[in-house]
Amino acid sequence: MNTKSLREVRVGQRLSGILIAGSSHVGKTTLARRLAETLGWNMESTDRLGRHPGRPWPGIPQPVAEYYARLSPETIYWFLKVHHENVWPGIRRMIESEIDAERPLILEGSALRPEFIAPLLSDAVAGIYLHADTDFLRERMRSEAGYRQADEPARAIMDKFIERSLRDNSEMREAATQHGVAVVDVSDSRAVAGLFDDLVRRAS
C-alpha cells in the first residue's frame, strides 16, 4: 500500500489503525492496552520489532550498563535515531499489511516518530504523540527507577538514559508540531481521558 491509497478513504470512515508515539515513560503502553481491551483490537509494540538498549532498571544488566557508561550523550542519542530509522521500513510494512488485510491495529512505541507516521495518517489511521514537560517526565522516570535509593554509579547510568529520553521527548514534540500530528499532554488527565473517548468513538 502506498501513501496515496492510505489517504484515499471516505470522510467519516471508522478508524482501523491507531499509532501512539512518544518517548519513554509517557504512557504509550498504558493507553494502548486500555484501547485494545475496550475495542477488542490487536495491540503491538515497536519494542518487540527491534530491540535497542532501553531503561536500565529494574536492575542494570551489564551490557546496558556498559552501553550507557562508555558513550557520550550525543552518541547515545545518535544511536537511538539510527535505530529508529533502521527499523521503520519494517514497521511501516507491517502497518500497511494489517490495514490492507482489514485487521484493526493499535501500535505504540518510540520508533513511531511523528515525521515517520505523518504520511500514513488519514480518516482511517489516527496518529497521536504523547508529550510531557521536562520536569514531569524526569520525576516520573526517577520515581519508577528508584533513583533516590540507588548508588552513585547506578544514578549516573540512569541519568544518561533519562537525558536521552528528555531530548527525544523535546525533538519529537517539535516534529509533531511541524508535521501536524496531534499532541496530547499526559500530565493533563482530562486531556488523556478525552483522547481515549474520542478514539473509541471514532473506532466504534
Q: What's phi and psi for 101, nearest 5 deg?
A: -85, 0
Output the CA torsion 190→192→193→198 (10° steps).
120
pLDDT digits (tens, 9 = 90+) for 156-167: 999 999 999 999
What integer pLDDT is reported at residue 88 of this predicted model?
Answer: 96
What integer pLDDT is reported at residue 59 of this predicted model?
Answer: 84
Can you tell me the distance from the alpha carbon of 39 to that of 105, in angstroms, rounded to the nearest whole number?
Answer: 10
* pLDDT classification of 76: cutoffs 50, 70, 90: very high
Q: What's phi and psi for 150, nearest 5 deg?
A: -80, 155
Spell out the domains of the chain, with CATH numbers in brackets: 14-203 (3.40.50.300)
pLDDT digits (tens, 9 = 90+) for 138-188: 999 999 999 999 999 999 999 999 999 999 999 999 999 999 999 999 999
* pLDDT classification of 14: cutoffs 50, 70, 90: confident
This model's pTM is above 0.85:
yes
* pLDDT classification of 83: cutoffs 50, 70, 90: very high
Quickly list DSSP for 139-196. Answer: HHHHHHHTGGGS-HHHHHHHHHHHHHHHHHHHHHHHHHHHHT-EEEETT-HHHHHHHH
- Cβ pair 40, 145 in contact under 8 A: no
Query: 3-class DSSP state for residue 129?
Result: strand
Q: Who wins on pLDDT, 63 or 127?
A: 127
- Cβ pair 87, 111 in contact under 8 A: yes
